[in-house]
Amino acid sequence: MTNTFLDAVKARRTYYGLSKEEVVKIERVQEIVNEAVKHTPSSFNSQSSRVVVLFGKESDKVWDITKEELRKIVPAENFAATVERINGFAAGYGTVLFFEDQTVVENLQEQFALYAENFPIWSNQTSGMLQYVVWTALELEGLGASLQHYNPLIDEEVRTAWNLPKEWKLIAQMPFGKPTAEPSNKEFQPLEERVKFFSN
Ligand SMILES: Cc1cc2nc3c(=O)[nH]c(=O)nc-3n(C[C@H](O)[C@H](O)[C@H](O)COP(=O)(O)O)c2cc1C
């Protein structure tokens, strides 16, 4: 029996080695991101997720910003390794920036005071689901991606560079491109320790 969804779930991995070589057209990436944003569920169908997709020099820019922000805080003797890591992300075809619109979250908190504490959590959860859908869909196209978190360090510069609303809170960055190296080996913990089934 085949299960294409679970096959895609199994195939998705973290790729650090990327190149700019065009595996799919920009339009196809746009289509994937649009479909993912439209169909990923959100609490109360609040649709709080916001996404910016950067290609080419625009993508390089986010990694330049990251490098410059890191330069301010990373000890000089460690900075070469930091640059190497960031250059690896910049070597890709593009970067997806994931945001959550805090206006939506705050409106929900006002409207449904009973759940006020939950809305920021659910907002992060919907963002995680969206990140996962995009990540897996990119992998299905033959692209490799990883998930990075240089927020909040880069938030202000990113907002300025692309003139984004201040209510858009940066949650994650996903560099993607043609894989140039295999993902590293992954160890799995025993499922019996992680999952319980009950039936009668
Ligand atoms: C919520 C979350 C946060 C992560 N943050 C980072 C990160 O900041 N940097 C990074 O290189 N990888 C990050 N990862 C990737 C994980 O390290 C990776 O998914 C995990 O080791 C399993 O490997 P795989 O993605 O190849 O299956 C993150 C993954 C998740 C789900």
Mind listing the domains of the chain with CATH numbers? 15-178 (3.40.109.10)
Backbone angles phi, psi at 68, to 5 degrees: -65, -35
- Dump the DSSP string for 5-67: HHHHHHH--B---EE---SS-HHHHHHHHHHHHHHS--GGG---EEEEEEEHHHHHHHHHHHH
* Cβ of 149 less than 6 Å from ligand 1: yes
Query: Are 200 and 177 in contact, with CB atoms under 8 Å apart?
Result: no
Ligand 1 center–CA 161 separation, angstroms: 26
82: which residues sit within 8 A by CB, 6+ positions away?
67, 70, 74
* Cβ of 148 less than 6 Å from ligand 1: yes
3-state secondary structure of 94: strand
Q: Whose CA is nearest to atom 29 of ligand 1?
A: 147
* Cβ of 186 less than 6 Å from ligand 1: yes
Q: Whose CA is nearest to atom 30 of ligand 1?
A: 147
Q: What is the pLDDT along the chain (200 residues), one digit of tens a residue?
A: 468 999 999 999 999 999 999 999 999 999 999 999 999 999 999 999 999 999 999 999 999 999 999 999 999 999 999 999 999 999 999 999 999 999 999 999 999 999 999 999 999 999 999 999 999 999 999 999 999 999 999 999 999 999 999 999 999 999 999 999 999 999 999 999 999 999 99
pTM: 0.97
Residue 40's DSSP bridge partners are: none
Nearest to 89, CA basis, from 60, 46, 120: 60
Ligand 1 center–CA 147 separation, angstroms: 6
Ligand 1 center–CA 131 separation, angstroms: 11
Residue 100's DSSP bridge partners are: 49, 169
> What is the Cα–Cα distance from 131 to 70, expressed in whole angstroms?
24
* Cβ of 147 less than 6 Å from ligand 1: yes
